[in-house]
Amino acid sequence: MAYDSKNEKTEFSDVKFDSNTSGEKIEDISNAKEHADRLAELSGIEATAASKAAWLISITVSLGGLLFGYDTGYISSVLVTIGKSLGHELTSSDQELVTSLTSGGALVGAVIAGMIADKFGRKLPIWLACVVFVIGTVLQTAAYHLVQFAVGRFVVGLGVGSAAMVVPLYISELAPAKYRGRMIAFNNMSVTFGQLLASAIGAGFAQVGGEGSQAWRATVGIGAAPAILLAGLLTFCPESPRQLVAHGKVDEASLVLTRIYPGSNEEQRRAKIQSIEMSIREATQTLVAESLWKTLKRIFKTPATFRAVFTACTIMAISQLSGFNTLMYYSATLFKIVGFNNATAVAIVVSGTNFIFSIVNLVIVDKFGRRLILLVTIAGMTICLVIAAVAFHYIPIDLHTLEVQSDEIGWPGYLLIVIIVLFVGFYSSGVATVAWIGTELIPMEVRALGTMLNTVTCWSTNIIIASTFLSMMKGITPSGAFGFYASICFVGWVFVVFCFPEVKGMPLENVREVFHYGFGVRYARQWQKENKEFAKVNSSNSQAFGH
């Protein structure tokens, strides 16, 4: 096996699976080679220089990620400054309600977007997400009662979920293969930047009038600006070539390819369209013959497929149940509990760390692989949460009001800040992004439904965390709550050790084989050893899941 950079093709040696050896080896993958070479031949357009338009379009639609991040960022500062603006002081249950409703709306929005994206294209769900987000923002900004504010939070969630579902898909279908992984990761970075921006704006307005002032309305209202901007700029963005080809609009697809690859010729564009048609046939040939219900049953009745989907969903569940989003939603509340006077300003540290380490993940995820990153970062998260639980033990907190019973912060408070920053660093550089990359584990014939299950797992577990955090702080003490999150992270770490295979740089034809051998950890490790050079070359595009 060797990689010939001159011909830009990958050569495989025929490798058989030998059950008598101490390790597991790979089955004959000559079919995968033939298929990959055929697609490579039809995708010669990728060798031409891509225009700046691809990056501009990617940056534009990544405003959808900014919407997601801004919403999860501003609620933290709003909760500590809203006072009696909604008619009464918000109880812990009220805060959990308005926080979790957005996650519930996002769950519904993601499902709706997933159902209409194939029929009506990628742009329409994004545009509708912008409209819904603006409506929800207006409802919140003008709210003087809890019910209206809660409805606004749910409506905003519909927009957030729709954008979070469709934007990465749109980028992956439009971006040149060479930059596809980085363009998708850029959208994830937009989420963390939105959180940082919201924390900074929230901290600034918190100083205008302090607790109980109406300045929080400006923090919420500003969130409509990127949605309006995205809705306007979306008119200059083309539909994805894959969607145009899928709907028989070949001439329009060719025009889009000309815009993305201005140096390409007609033959190259025609060949690229043919490769897209091949990919579409692969992805739909099973689904066309089966109903949605039969496809769902296929996932649960086919052991290898179930293990693949279960692994992806478990990593997603760990990313949410680790308690990270309690810091996004309640960071200012948490720091206020500890005793910091300007809690919203301190919360900026959390958002800033999250943004910086999302960039770190962009640099390391293809170099070191998903499994090693998860093992290191989840272990780090577990240790941080244990130390946080110990630190809380030494902070005198009234469990009925969640207020600190001391005028001095002391060493436990400062230690808690350091530990939370470290925890966020581990989270953002690891499971935060790997959880979304996990869809590469899911076989092509059930990938659409498997991705939907992965998204449902994300928002449903997010709801659990958002709606129980403050109640857990009161019910089992802050030490107990963070100890509980630590135990989840430890269970997640054990799962990664025994059940998460490394598929960095592995062709999708081979990824589907991994789970035929249990969870395929040994199988994948052996494949990585025997195809080291190919995995190294291919890893730069390993986040690309389709044409």
The residue length of the chain stands at 547
Same domain, 412 and 484: yes
Reading the block at residue 400, the tokens are 């009925």
Same domain, 83 and 232: yes
Same domain, 305 and 428: yes
Give the largest CA-CA distance in the chain.
74
Give the CA dihedral 495, 498, 504, 505, nearest 10 degrees.
Answer: -140
Same domain, 383 and 478: yes
Please list the alpha-helical segments (H only) found in 142-234: 146-174, 177-209, 216-221, 224-233
Least confidently predicted of 45-49, 132-136, 303-307, 479-483: 45-49
Reading the block at residue 338, the tokens are 């500890």
Q: Is residue 493 part of a domain?
A: yes
Q: Is residue 281 part of a domain?
A: no
pLDDT tens string 246-283:
778 888 888 888 888 877 778 877 887 877 777 666 55
Same domain, 489 and 400: yes
Q: How confident is the model at residue 19 (pLDDT cuts 50, 70, 90)?
A: very low
- CATH number, domain of 179, equals 1.20.1250.20
Q: Is residue 96 part of a domain?
A: yes
Q: Is residue 269 part of a domain?
A: no
250 residue type, one letter: V
Query: Of the candidates 237, 262, 277, which is a domain's last residue?
Result: 237
Asked if residue 170 has pLDDT above 50, the reply is yes
pLDDT score at 342: 64
Which is higher by pLDDT, 532 or 1? Answer: 532
DSSP-derived pairing of the beta strands 403-404 and 397-398: antiparallel
Q: Domain span at residue 350?
A: 292-547
Q: Is residue 131 part of a domain?
A: yes
Query: Of the candidates 168, 202, 237, which is a domain's last residue?
Result: 237
Q: Is residue 189 part of a domain?
A: yes
Number of domains the chain is built from = 2
Same domain, 221 and 327: no
Reading the block at residue 367, the tokens are 């170099």
Angle among Cα 501, 537, 530 to the nearest 5 degrees reads 50
pLDDT score at 546: 39
Q: How confident is the model at residue 350 (pLDDT cuts 50, 70, 90)?
A: confident
Same domain, 468 and 547: yes
pLDDT score at 290: 55
pLDDT score at 98: 87
Same domain, 54 and 129: yes
pLDDT tens string 480-489:
999 999 999 9
pLDDT score at 544: 38
DSSP code string of 68-96: HHHHHHHHHHHHHH-TTTTSSPPPHHHHH
Q: Is residue 167 part of a domain?
A: yes
Query: Of the candidates 169, 203, 237, which is a domain's last residue?
Result: 237
Same domain, 115 and 204: yes
- How far apart CA 323 and CA 466 sit, in angstroms, is 9
Q: Is residue 172 part of a domain?
A: yes
